[in-house]
Amino acid sequence: NIDTELLRALPKAELHLHLEGTLEPELMFALAERNEITLPYDSVEALRDAYEFGNLQDFLNLYYQGAAVLQSEEDFYDLTLAYLARCAEDGVVHVEPFFDPQTHTARAITMACQFRGILRALEEGHKRWGITSRLILSFLRHLSEEDAVVTLQQALPWREHFVAVGLDSSEKGNPPEKFQRVFDQVRALGLKAVAHAGEEGPADYIAQALDLLKVVRIDHGVRCTEDEQLVKRLIDQQIPLTVCPLSNVRLKVFSQMSDHNIMQLLKRGMCVTINSDDPAYFGGYLLDNFLAVRDAIGMSKAEAVQLARNSLTASFMDSETLTQHL
Ligand code: ADE
Ligand code: ZN
């Protein structure tokens, strides 16, 4: 097995990370106080104790409730900068974070406030730690396609400040098909498409994301193994999967880490990557996810190097930056 410090030192990119999912209980309480909001928990410990999830929806309920403390540009700045500080400790050289604008515009927090805070922190993170970034705007799939269309319109003034659009939230019953028209608009704007698929939803949602939304990466995708033809296609076309091991165990996609299929997929030649999804809720940042997989399943030095390399080649960084890291 690869040594922890070697893993830390490997240049890695994080491609599946929700900024709202990096809101640590301590920061949640601090922002609640700053914004004069009362949280339905007595303490940081009581809040952490509530992080026991039976499925994706259990988690999403707490995640949306927590995000309500984010109100000002400064709040989005503090959230994003705290995440980048953790990245620096873990040897993360490049990040492609998601944010969910609809979670905030629904509370009358403007798109401008969100973009300004996040972008200023990404610049500061580049200055302080040399971390490069590409931002991804994500639609909430439990809302209507019309709502996503309006959100895309609202984001147009920041067109040059994000590179892709994603699709997240409650997967089952909200297939990629529901968002086909808005993703046509996304791609017509020259933006890349990605989507959560095959986390709780069936393998068919992965195929739909590829065929109907024309995504260039699949977020999660671990249920692909339920369709052998699809597995072959993902390998042939080298479609990257952004897998989130600790998330999958905490949301009961796999009952324990030793059951996770990521290393089997890697051994079959799929372009899988390791990511943290919502680290404040799932008990670990990027390096913790690598370590959890190593300790439960095993990870050789060559496999770790391949996983780190996949994260760089599957990223949207420019080719010059990529060459520097490889
Ligand atoms: N939003 C934040 N994390 C998510 C996940 N793992 N799946 C779907 N939506 C999400
Ligand atoms: Zn996710």
Would you say residue 82 lies in a domain?
yes
Pick the atom of ligand 1 nearest to 171's CA: 8
20 within ligand 1 shell (Cβ under 6 A) = no
In tens, the pLDDT along 280-297 reads 999 999 999 999 999 999
User: Which residues belong to the active site?
Assistant: 199
Task: Please state, as a whole number, how many other Cβ atoms lie within 10 Å of the Cβ of residue 43.
Answer: 11
**CATH number, domain containing residue 236:** 3.20.20.140
What is the total count of domains within the chain? 1
ipTM of the complex: 0.98
Domain membership of residue 36 (yes or no) is no
Task: Give pLDDT, residue 90.
Answer: 98
Q: Could you list the residue range(s) of the whole structural domain that residue 277 is in?
A: 4-23+70-316
Asked if residue 113 is part of any domain, the answer here is yes
Question: pLDDT-based confidence at 70, cuts 50/70/90?
Answer: very high
What is the residue with the minimal CA distance to atom 1 of ligand 1?
Answer: 169
pLDDT bracket for residue 317 (50, 70, 90): very high
Phi-psi region of 173 (alpha: psi -120 to 50; beta: other; left: phi over 0): left
Count of beta carbons in the 10 Å neighbourhood of residue 147: 16
Find out whether the beta carbon of 18 lies less than 6 Å from any atom of ligand 1: yes
Q: Is 16 in the pocket of ligand 1 (CB under 6 A)?
A: no
Query: According to the model, what pLDDT value does residue 178 have?
Result: 98
What is the mean predicted confidence (pLDDT) over 210-220? 98
Whether 139 is covered by a domain: the verdict is: yes
Within-domain flag for 74: yes
pLDDT, residue 250, reads 98
Contact assessment for residue 181 and residue 147, using Cβ atoms and an 8 Å cutoff: no
In a domain, 209, yes or no: yes
Question: Is position 122 within any domain?
Answer: yes
Does residue 248 form part of some domain?
yes
Answer whether 21 contacts ligand 1 (Cβ < 6 A). yes
- As given in the structure block, the two tokens for residue 93 are 């050289």
| Residue partners of 1: CB distance under 8 A and separation at least 6 | 294, 295, 298, 299, 300
Between the CA of 168 and the centroid of ligand 1 the distance, in Å, is 5
pLDDT for the residue 86: 98
- Nearest atom of ligand 1 to the alpha carbon of 200: 7
Q: Say if pTM beats, i.e. exceeds, 0.90.
A: yes
**C-alpha 201 to ligand 2 mean position (Å):** 13
> What is the CA(203)–ligand 2 centre distance, in A?
17
